[in-house]
Chain A
Amino acid sequence: MDNRNDSLDPRQSGNPYDAMDATERRTDPSTAQDQAGAQAVGAGSPQDLPDDTFASRGAVRQTVGIGRSTETGSYVFPAFDDHHPPEKDLIDDCVHCGFCLPTCPTYVLFGEEMDSPRGRIYLMNKALTEEPMNDQMVRHWDLCLGCMACVTACPSGVQYDKLIEATRGQIERRYQRSPQDRAFREMIFQLFPYPNRLRLAAAPLKLYQRFGIGDRLRKAGVMDMLPKRLKAMEALMPMLTEQQEVPEVTAPVGEKRRRVGFIKGCVQRVFFSDVNSATVRVLAAEGCEVVAPKGQGCCGALSVHAGREEEFQRFARNLIDEFEDQGLDNIIINAAGCGSTLKEYGYLLRDDAEYAERASAFAAKVRDVTEFIQELGPVAERHPLPVSAAYHDACHLGHSQGIRRQPRQTLKQIPGMEVREIKEAELCCGSAGIYNMVEPEPATELGDRKAKNVLNTGARMVVTSNPGCMLQIQASLKRMGESMPMAHPMEVLDASIRGEPVETLLRQ
């Protein structure tokens, strides 16, 4: 190839083809005409594509590179100890095909391998076989929202849920977080799983909200001085409503069809107590005797998702104690995040000689409320609610429990109700347990993306089964200067069964 005619080699200085004007055929590709064309076509573009796909629409701001900074310099070798490390067999199920990538929120945001399920599993394998656990690894595992969209997408049946839970347990026991990080996490876990403490903490909040202190501080620029995590918490705080207590026993309307236990949840109980009341009314209307033991505490979902194993086990044992001797046919939960953990009790307490079997028996009775109603078959009369609602799949309902049909069906059984689908439905809203408090930037980006997709449905209201999602979407809507009535499927159904006008639901 070296004997080529140098005078014609375009690598030489000057372009030998210049004289022929050959370059003219290559006009500037980004002409105004082309762009206009792209815009015109982009307008009618289909549902499933992310907004930043189209050059003509401008890119969405991205929190890329957020997983890169490191803080503590901690280093643990070997990375995992013998107490339930992520199982090699489960890791080996991953064939590295990459089908999980497009549904992973962090991969969608950052486009980086180590912030995808495939990459995280790869790192687990490295940590299991050869590498120490260090800041970078922990950072990428921390950034996982635990939304389990990858579990839905995976054709190989990789149980990523078990893998990440095991990994998080190891992190919490073995890895040294920075003092601020530790303190913040401790604060969350001393507060949220304890409804009484949460209620106490929420009391001054009520005054804070009544006098609009937040808005005034925001105007004064004081909010900008808060650390970003506290700022995120402030933005997420819901407007407090009057507390409604669920009675210990509620009699069925008409003939008794089932005797069911009701789990009140923590955030649900304090911030969304009317959802609980609505749920109990619906269950009673469907012929259930509803038992809500007074002594029940947290189910431990937040703890287990954060790898706080002992704390979780304490909560779980208490809850089993509260419910098991009540002669219940089923145990009903209306919060998606709690439901997915409750159904895993058998697995999560497998080492506990005293509780393992009882936990499995308990878990077998657990049902999400929409799942239960569809199983039972509705009998109560539904009154019309002529309204369009966007239904948002909570990840822990759709991905973790595979419950997508039942809530939609529950809504569609109401005459006049129109259920609209949200674009990118499989993508997490960024709430993800405590995620929006510990990782506010990506959470906010995901929240805004979800809120935009929700608004684009043009529906009058949004319906979802998880308190975290409600807070998250509400916060994003508020940030965008928008608002939209929000409800749990049970509130909608309750309004229908009671024959209330649709305006009750649309009142913010």
Chain B
Amino acid sequence: MASKRLIDQMTAILGPEGVISEREQLRSYECDGLMNYRVVPDLVVLPETAEQVQKIVKLCHDEGIPFVARGSGTGLSGGALPVEAGVLIVLSRMRRILEVDIPNQRVVVEPGVINIWVSQAIADEGYYYAPDPASQIISSIGGNLAENSGGVHCLKYGFTTNHVVGAEVVLPDGSVVDIGGGKAPDAPGYELLGAFVGSEGTLGIATKITLRVVRKPEAVSTLLAAFKDTEEAGDAVSGIIGSGIVPAAIEMMDALCIEAVETAVHPGFPEAGAILIVELDGPQAEVETQFQQTIEICEEAGASEIRIAEDDAERALFWKGRKAAFAAMGRISNDYYVQDSVVPRTELGAVLKRISEIGREAGMRVANVFHAGDGNLHPLVLYDNDVPGEAEKAEDVAGEIVLICLEHGGSLTGEHGIGKDKMKYMPKMFTTDDLNVMQLLRCAFDPHHLCNPGKIFPTPRLCGERPGPFRMHPVQKAGLAENF
């Protein structure tokens, strides 16, 4: 628990309504979208202005208290997991759109603004904000920036980093800086923005973010194609990309995933071993020609059914099915463990085959839903936390999947971030020297290791510390002891 003194100091900055210090209330903040790790923060603060954030961080810096920033708490790598004896800075009340500047294609927002609000705010002008993570109805721009979030349309339009042009940042010592450009697109000097976007909250807290918005395409065409299995669907993906078409999105879901989604949001997906959702956008003429080409490629690859979205409503239904995929897993399994590895597109077929083998050998169900276009896999290992040993087994299977991806020249994470969850795999992908360079950068921003410590980089294991997801001690479960 936080000291009375700290509570008083924070209350002086934020007023009583901005400080949470009661145990039960703190516990609801003990994990983000990933429930496998839980740490009760000492204090939760809810600033409403950049100035308050600056004061909070300054106070933490002066007192040597570690702190973690959190947006909507939907992250899937434990990036917003609180630190012990630390302060959790929740930005959900900083949710104002500060400026809409269509002629310069920019929108300035506070970090707690929900991703989809940006597109809604400029819809009438014919513009939208391109990065669209599946959680876009709730995830915050600040969180998107920290994780360099992707989304189904990032194949063509790029990740968050391609759409953030500037940020006002509170550094870990409490100073405030502007990084990146203003209205002019390119600022000289070091590309600090590139380092900051995707730094998973370890380099500072963005309090004002300038986003690049883009014009809505003239035409959009979406189809859904059903295949016998993921290999066939994979062939179609290779075929489409190989032909020179750059689709706005290509998404694949396997049978298990289709089943879950169908129960959850009833998008009317066909029964199949795998389905692809392919979306093309751009000038009318180009979309028309390439769409026809895409249909032919899918047919050649053996598609048993091709459904074309007749209108916006049907397109929205396709995407609703795709975007609810993770959450829908709750329909067919109590718990799941999701990975976020990336593999070269050419390795997709081989890797998917290995994944299903690994699952079969371990006797675990693995559902697959992923951004097929850029090889970003999301294998979901299903398990039941209440069955002893299943959580460990699921983690082992997920770990093996990661290693397979690395073997095939892939990467640990496409968009969810390393956070707490994948840091132990970092040495598998990077050499010590590689990691040291990253540490040097981090130390330049945060020499005292106060800003979201214990994330990204593997830490030596302490005495008695056990790897793996959170497990309650039996004594604790019986109500005889509690975590402090």
Identify the A interface with B (CB < 8 A).
Answer: 1, 11, 25-26, 29-30, 34-35, 37-38, 41-42, 44-46, 48-49, 52-55, 59, 64-65, 68, 70, 77-78, 92-99, 101-102, 111-114, 119, 122-123, 126, 129-131, 134, 136-137, 140, 154-158
Interface centre among A45, A119, A123, A134 (most CB of B within 10 A): A45
Query: Given A46-B121, A131-B27: A54 and B135 within 8 A (CB)?
Result: no
In whole angstroms, how far apart are the Cα atoms of A135 and B22 in the complex?
A: 10
Residues of chain A contacted by B43 (CB below 8 angstroms): none
Q: Which residue from A42, A70, A93 sits with its C-beta under 8 Å from B330?
A: A93
Q: How far is the CA of A154 from the CA of B114 in the complex (A)?
A: 17
Find chain B residues with CB under 8 A from A41 CB: 100-102, 122, 125
Q: Please provide the 10 A-B residue pairs with the shortest distance between their CB atoms, ordered closest to farther.
A: A65-B17, A156-B330, A155-B327, A155-B324, A41-B100, A111-B92, A114-B28, A119-B28, A97-B327, A55-B96
Whether, in the assembled complex, B25 has its beta carbon less than 8 Å from a beta carbon of chain A, the answer is: yes
Interchain CB contact under 8 A, B336 and A38: no
Asked whether, in the complex, the Cβ of A155 is within 8 Å of the Cβ of B265, the reply is yes
B residues 446-480 in Cβ contact with A at 8 Å: 447, 472, 476-477, 479
Scan B97-124; emit 1 where CB is below 8 A from any A CB, else 0: 1111110000010001110010011111
> Does residue B173 face the partner (Cβ distance < 8 Å to A)?
yes
Q: Could you jot down 23 A-B contacts, CB within 8 Å? A: A29-B108, A35-B99, A38-B100, A41-B101, A45-B124, A53-B96, A53-B97, A59-B96, A65-B17, A78-B479, A92-B386, A95-B326, A95-B327, A99-B324, A113-B28, A113-B73, A122-B27, A137-B24, A155-B264, A156-B264, A156-B328, A157-B330, A157-B331
Number of interface residues of B (CB under 8 A): 76
B327–A54 touching, CB < 8 Å:
no
Q: How far is A158 from B334 in the complex, measured between Cα atoms in Å? A: 11
Task: Encode contact with A along B355-399: 1 for CB under 8 Å, 0 otherwise.
Answer: 000000000000000000000000000000110000000000000
Docked Cα-Cα span, A42 to B99, in Å, equals 9
A64, A111, A131 — most chain B CB neighbours (10 Å): A111
B46 contacts across to A, CB distance below 8 A: 64, 111-112
| CB–CB A29/B327 < 8 A | no
Cβ of A126: which chain B residues have Cβ within 8 Å of it?
A: 24, 27
Is B327 a contact of A156 with CB atoms below 8 Å?
Answer: yes
B101's partner among A37, A48, A78, A129 (CB-CB below 8 A) is: A37
> Of all chain B residues, which has the CB nearest A126?
B27
Query: In the complex, A51 Cα to B24 Cα: how many Å?
Result: 32
Q: Is the CB of A156 within 8 A of B331?
A: yes
* B243 proximal to A (CB < 8 A): no
Q: Which residues of B contact A49 (CB under 8 A)?
A: 117, 120-121
Contacting A at CB under 8 A, from B58-82, are 72-74
Query: Given B16, B92, B96, B264, which contacts A157 in the complex, CB threshold below 8 Å?
Result: B264
Please, which residues of chain A bring their CB within 8 A of the CB of B102? 41
- Check A98–B121 contact: CB distance below 8 A: no
Q: Evaluate contact between A1 and B73: CB separation under 8 angstroms.
A: no
| B121 with A45: CB separation less than 8 A | yes
Residue of A nearest to B478 (CB): A130
B29 touches A113 (CB 8 A): yes
List the B side residues contacting A26 at CB < 8 Å: 178, 182
A158 adjacent to B125 (CB under 8 Å): no
Chain B stretch 8-31: residues in CB contact (< 8 A) with chain A: 15-18, 20, 22-25, 27-29, 31
Q: Is the CB of A96 within 8 A of B33?
A: yes
* Interface contact A55-B334, CB-CB below 8 Å: no
Q: Is the CB of B334 within 8 A of A53?
A: no
Contacts of A123 in B (CB 8 A): 24, 27-28
Task: Say whether, besides A42-B100, A123-B24, A95 and B330 are in contact (CB < 8 Å).
Answer: yes
A130 pairs with B22, CB closer than 8 A: no
From B24, B29, B95, B386, A53 is in contact (CB under 8 Å) with B95
Do A38 and B326 have beta carbons less than 8 Å apart? no
Given A96-B35, A157-B331, also A112-B20 (CB < 8 A): yes
A residues in contact with B168, CB < 8 Å? 29
Write out the residue numbers on chain B whose beta carbons fall within 8 Å of the beta carbon of A52: 95-96
- Known interface pairs A155-B324, A158-B330; A53-B113 also in contact (CB < 8 Å): yes
Q: Please give me the residue from chain B that is nearest to A119 by CB atom.
A: B28
**Chain A contacts of B93 at CB under 8 A?**
64, 111
Say yes or no: B17 contacts A68, CB within 8 Å: yes
Q: Which residues of A contact B114 (CB under 8 A)?
A: 102
Beta-carbon contact of A157 and B263 below 8 Å: yes
Q: Contact residues of B with A, CB < 8 Å?
A: 15-18, 20, 22-25, 27-29, 31-35, 46, 72-74, 90, 92-93, 95-102, 108, 112-114, 117, 120-125, 135, 137-139, 168, 173, 178, 182, 208, 263-265, 324, 326-331, 334-336, 385-386, 440, 443-444, 447, 472, 476-477, 479, 482
Tell me the complex Cα distance, A122–B40, Å.
13
Using known A-B contacts A41-B125, A42-B100, A98-B72, determine if residue A111 contacts B135 with beta carbons closer than 8 Å: no
Interchain CB contact under 8 A, A97 and B444: no
Could you tell me the distance in whole angstroms from the C-beta of A314 to the nearest C-beta in chain B?
A: 34
B264 touches A95 (CB 8 A): no
Q: Are B33 and A44 in contact (CB under 8 A)?
A: no
Contact of B208 among A29, A37, A98 (CB under 8 A): A29
Q: Complex: how many Å from CA A455 to CA B238?
A: 53
Picked from B96, B263, B335, B476, the residue with its CB within 8 Å of the CB of A130 is B476
Q: How many angstroms between the C-alpha atoms of A111 and B15 in the bound complex?
A: 15
Say how far B457's CB is from chain A's closest CB, in angstroms. Answer: 15
In the complex, chain B residues whose CB is within 8 Å of the CB of A94:
330
How far is A275 from B352 in the complex, measured between Cα atoms in Å?
A: 61
- Complexed CA–CA distance, A29 and B98 (Å): 10
B120 contact from A30, A46, A55, A158, Cβ within 8 A: A46
**Closest residue of B by beta carbon distance from A23:** B178
Chain A residues whose CB sits within 8 angstroms of the CB of B124 once the complex forms: 44-46
Let me know if B334 and A92 touch, CB within 8 A: yes
Q: How far is the CA of A68 from the CA of B334 in the complex (A)?
A: 32
Q: How far is the CA of A137 from the CA of B25 in the complex (A)?
A: 8
Smallest Cβ distance from B23 to chain A, in angstroms?
8
Q: Are B443 and A1 in contact (CB under 8 A)?
A: yes
B265 to chain A, nearest CB (A): 6
Residues of A within 8 A of B385 (CB): 92
> How far apart are the CA atoms of A17 and B157 in the complex, in Å?
37
Asked if A154 meets B327 with Cβ closer than 8 Å, knowing A1-B443, A45-B121, the reply is yes
Cα of A287 to Cα of B330 in the assembled complex, Å: 45
On whether the beta carbons of A136 and B97 are closer than 8 Å, the reply is no
Q: Once the chains are docked, how many angstroms separate the CA of A52 from the CA of B139?
A: 18
Report whether B95 and A98 are in contact in the complex, using a CB–CB cutoff of 8 Å: no
Given A53-B96, A97-B135, answer yes or no on A136-B263 (Cβ-Cβ < 8 Å).
no
Compute how far the CA of A59 lies from the CA of B49 in the bound complex, rounded to whole angstroms: 12
Residues on B with C-beta less than 8 A from A53 are 95-97, 113, 117, 121
Instruction: Indicate which residue in B90, B123, B135, B265 contacts A98 across the interface (CB closer than 8 Å).
Output: B135
The residue on B at minimum CB distance from A154 is: B327
**Nearest neighbor of A46 in chain B, beta-carbon distance:** B123
Q: Which chain A residues border B479 with CB–CB below 8 Å?
A: 77-78, 130
Q: How far is the CA of A55 from the CA of B33 in the complex (A)?
A: 29
* Closest residue of B by beta carbon distance from A94: B330
Question: Does A98 contact B33, Cβ atoms closer than 8 Å?
Answer: yes
Closest chain-A Cβ to B383's Cβ sits at a distance in Å of: 12
